[in-house]
Amino acid sequence: MATLKAIRKRIGSIRNTQQITKAMKMVSAAKLRRAQEAVVQARPYAEKMVDLFGNLSARVSREAHPLLGVREEKRTQLLLLTSDRGLCGGYNANLIRAAEAFIRREGSGKEIQLALIGRKGADHFRRRRAAISDRHVNILAIPPEELATEMAQKLIGRFIKDETDAVYILYSRFRSALSQVPTVEKLLPVAVSEGDSTEQLTEYLYEPSVEALLASLLPKVVEVAIYRALLEATASEHGARMTAMDSATTNASKMMGSLTLQMNRARQASITRELMEIVGTAEALK
């Protein structure tokens, strides 16, 4: 059995750790509220952007713009969003596992390059010598709209230059503080609405032309999709960290309760032993 001094030292260490995890939980909860508000505000805009493009794409062919062109996927780009820091449960592990499953599923006979946002994913695939085209860390210091614009320009440039045949994004979609779902979406080529050929479409007059609208709208569709994914990933990270720190705080309380019981038993055993020594000494002196 451990000594009283060792048990007291361990209880003190756990209590200090509990204070840290409790503080981290409160900080993550505050950040989660702001991140969740940003996600809720961004979703209608992104959905309206998709609806607008869907209405326009039903009237054009895939040859109308290079970002609509479908070709055989021999070179694929995967944009992976992870966090810079740990202590968020299985958040990063689930995303990395989903990325590795994507590579196994899509990588047979194909070339797959990774664009990594977040230190955890970047460090994981760097150690495994994967083909990495872009690597961004300290992402919380960069405004998400700036990062989305930068990544959209790079990915679109490579697609137009035929350096990649398809671009996918993998991020954690936020449902609640307890539920974050790794999600894969196709960014390029941009999906075209496949309407019923027999459906009578309402005719509109476009100013400027449809081609000019596509040239302006398509890069924005990709940028908004990345921006929304960044907001979803940020909210998911804070939700996962808040949940993990809450569990850690609860476990610390349970461990301190168990150690306190163990300490009391050890103290009682020590007192009993000392009393027996006193009684034994008194009997010996008779």
Can you spell out the DSSP letters for 225-274? Answer: HHHHHHHHHHHHHHHHHHHHHHHHHHHHHHHHHHHHHHHHHHHHHHHHHH
Which pLDDT score, from 0 to 100, does residue 230 have? 93
What's the whole-model pTM score?
0.83
Which pLDDT score, from 0 to 100, does residue 262 have? 87
Please give the chain's pLDDT, 286 residues, in tens: 568 888 888 999 999 999 999 999 999 999 999 998 888 888 888 887 777 777 776 666 677 778 888 888 889 999 999 999 888 989 999 999 999 999 998 877 788 999 999 999 999 999 988 888 989 988 877 888 899 999 999 999 999 998 999 999 999 999 888 889 999 999 988 877 665 544 555 566 667 777 777 778 888 889 999 999 999 999 999 999 999 999 999 999 999 999 889 888 888 888 888 888 888 887 787 7
Domain boundaries along the sequence of the chain: 22-193+202-244
Which pLDDT score, from 0 to 100, does residue 255 have? 92
Strand blocks (E) in the chain: 75-81, 111-117, 132-136, 166-176, 179-188
Which CATH architecture best describes the domain 22-193+202-244? 3-Layer(aba) Sandwich (3.40)
Considering 78, 88, 217, 245, which one is annotated as catalytic?
88
- 263 in Cβ contact with 2 (< 8 Å): no
Q: Which residue has the tokens 């990544």?
A: 151
Active site residue 74: no
